[in-house]
Amino acid sequence: PECLCFIDLTSGKIEVVTEFPSSFRPIQATVDPAEKTMVISGWKNGFLDLALLPQDGKLQFITSDDYADLSPSFSPDGKILFFSSERSGVYNVYAYYLDTGEFFQVTNVVNGLFEPKYNGQKFYSIVYHQTGFDVSEFLSDRNNWKKIKIEQQNIFDLPDKTPSTWNYEDKPYQATKHLFPRYWVPLLWGGTTSACDYLGFHSYSLSYQSDLQENFMTTFSYQGLFMEPEIDFWFSFDQEKYQYSLSFDYPVFLPHQNQLHFRAGYEKIYRDDSLYSGFWEGFFLNLDGSIAHGNDSWITTQSFNLNYQNGSYELYPVQKSLFSWEIQSFRAGNVDHSWYAQMALGYSTLPQDFVLGGRNSLWGIAGYPEEVLRGKIASRFEFGYKFPLIALDQPLFNLGLIKGIDGKIYWVEAAAGESWNSLEWIGSIGSELSLHIFLAEGFPVDLTLGYAHPFKSNRSDEWYLTLSTRFR
């Protein structure tokens, strides 16, 4: 059974105040301004209701029916309890007078209101709309509140076979007990699985694919967050080669959810290149960070990455440095309209190391599907604008949900050469239409149709179609 506990901040000692029956699972609690009355929202035998918790610890249910009642909060004088409920078909704000036992419907919206808070003059609440959640404020005249009748239903308790005891034995946390795979996602002639312990100290994934002949691919990755620095390991092998990467990551958390990551490691990665085909092997150092700032109208996020590598491509020793930076700005509370800018700069001691163009290139540019420029110095800049076109929110048979169609326009410039004086430039402008779909279990699928016009006069325009998804 779950408990309401008290923790002594000085000694760290935890004491049980109330032990709930196994048929009740609390999820939210609030206390009135006078700190005399506590109201809990919790599940009772499959139904989400509100209950008072007096000093004797015996729950007194305010609501007890088929509807979900959550997010309780008191008025400043402690006489009214506000909560969110879907008893009208949509989550709205309701009021309960503790002295009279009367219920009132405060709002009648069609998109949903959650977490209501009242300061004596205005309400503040989380509102849901087609692009997500926002924090809103609104006025509501008590004379316009609609009085409703809420009848208590007799929801029988299931047999409680859990012995009541307050004697809990402290044991060390054993993450290995929770690391067995619990699912298997089938792929083409193979599958993938992953697992993570409850506290997230250890996580791993394993996948295997084969074409039923001699070709196969096996990949294993592991992340350990049980220590500082964190550990990341990746290993892959097929019928011809193997690759791996081992790194140690030290995160630094800054104010306002900003953060930095210092990473160092050693890797062996295969590179499919027309000039330097083979394995890259060596040490690397990496620093990346992100910051966010803004106001009530616009939010701006920035991220950067600085990477240094020291190793070799087969017989060729090489040192290279890469720097990238990205900024994105979008309307506060929405991600429907946004603009972004990206910049990357690289330098290598190996001649013609960087490649511009090509579909699989790190420095790919729409409109240049094959390799165009090479150099020991490379740079790339992109500026774009994203916007919504159609909000669909329609079911896709029984497979998922068609969310909508977004658009994007962009401009790309890039250069490469053996020295700063010999850089050669290429670029393009283009646009994309993206159809966003969510399959069962929340897997996102994006189908993108794009068009790019290269600036070089001897190149033709390019149409491209991409399909992408992400697994959790």
- Same structural domain for residues 97 and 218? no
The whole-number pLDDT of residue 111 equals 84
CA-based max dimension of the chain: 85
Pairing relation of β-strands 424-439 and 242-253? Answer: unpaired
With vertex at residue 414, the alpha carbon angle to CA 409 and CA 415, rounded to the nearest 5 degrees, is 170
Residue that is last in its domain, among 130, 148, 166:
148
Q: What are phi and psi of 176, to 5 degrees?
A: -65, -20
Task: Say whether pLDDT at 165 is over 70.
Answer: no
Residue that is last in its domain, among 148, 169, 197:
148
Among 26-30, 109-113, 384-388, 417-421, the least confident range: 109-113
User: 125 or 1: which carries more pLDDT confidence?
Assistant: 125
Report d(CA 106, CA 48) in Å as an integer: 20
Percent of the chain with pLDDT over 70: 94
The whole-number average pLDDT for the span 99-126 is 92
3-state secondary structure (DSSP) of residue 176: helix
The whole-number average pLDDT for the span 41-48 is 89
* CATH number of residue 13's parent domain: 2.120.10.30
Pairing relation of β-strands 80-85 and 92-97? Answer: antiparallel
- Token pair listed for 81: 């309890």
- Same structural domain for residues 144 and 249? no
Task: Say whether pLDDT at 186 is over 80.
Answer: no
Give, as one character, the DSSP assignment of residue 66.
S
Give, as one character, the DSSP assignment of residue 23.
T
- Same structural domain for residues 114 and 246? no
- Token pair listed for 209: 């694919």
Q: Supply the DSSP string of 392-455, one letter for each residue.
A: EEEEETTTEEEEEEEEEEEEEEEEEESSGGG-EEEEEEEEEEEEEEEEGGG-EEEEEEEEEEES
Mention every residue, 6+ apart, whose C-beta is less than 8 A from residue 172: none
Task: Say whether pLDDT at 360 is over 80.
Answer: no
Report d(CA 292, CA 301) in Å as an integer: 4
Report d(CA 38, CA 81) in Å as an integer: 11
Report d(CA 269, CA 291) in Å as an integer: 30
pLDDT tens-place string over residues 381-424: 999 999 989 888 777 776 777 888 999 999 999 999 999 999 99
374, 356 contact by CB (below 8 A)? yes
261, 252 contact by CB (below 8 A)? yes
> Residue with structure tokens 């890259």?
280
- Same structural domain for residues 392 and 243? yes
Is 162 contained in some domain? no
Q: How many domains does the chain fold into? A: 2
CA nearest 73: which of 133, 20, 16, 113? 113
Range of the domain at 441: 177-469
Long-range contacts at 223-231 (CB < 8 A, ≥ 24 apart): 225/200, 225/201, 226/175, 226/201, 226/202, 229/262
- Same structural domain for residues 50 and 181? no
Is 154 contained in some domain? no
- Same structural domain for residues 270 and 319? yes
- Same structural domain for residues 183 and 110? no
* CATH number of residue 381's parent domain: 2.40.160.50
Query: What one-letter code names the amino acid at 346?
Result: G
- Same structural domain for residues 98 and 200? no
The whole-number pLDDT of residue 378 equals 96
Q: N- to C-terminal Cα distance for the chain?
A: 31
- Token pair listed for 22: 């196994």
3-state secondary structure (DSSP) of residue 178: helix
Is 226 contained in some domain? yes
Is 86 contained in some domain? yes
Task: Say whether pLDDT at 350 is over 90.
Answer: yes
Task: Say whether pLDDT at 163 is over 80.
Answer: no
Pairing relation of β-strands 444-454 and 462-469? Answer: antiparallel
- Same structural domain for residues 79 and 196? no
3-state secondary structure (DSSP) of residue 201: coil
- Same structural domain for residues 210 and 351? yes
Q: How confident is the model at residue 342 (pLDDT cuts 50, 70, 90)?
A: very high
Is 337 contained in some domain? yes
Is 382 contained in some domain? yes
Q: Which residues of 290-315 are buried (b: 16+ CB within 10 A; e: fewer)?
A: bbeeeeeeebebbebbebebebebee
| pTM for this entry | 0.67
The whole-number average pLDDT for the span 262-284 is 93
Is 155 contained in some domain? no
Report d(CA 56, CA 260) in Å as an integer: 49
Query: Which residues are 234's β-sheet partners?
Result: 221, 245
298, 331 contact by CB (below 8 A)? yes
Is 312 contained in some domain? yes
The whole-number pLDDT of residue 154 equals 74
Percent of the chain with pLDDT over 90: 56
- Same structural domain for residues 196 and 261? yes
- Same structural domain for residues 191 and 107? no
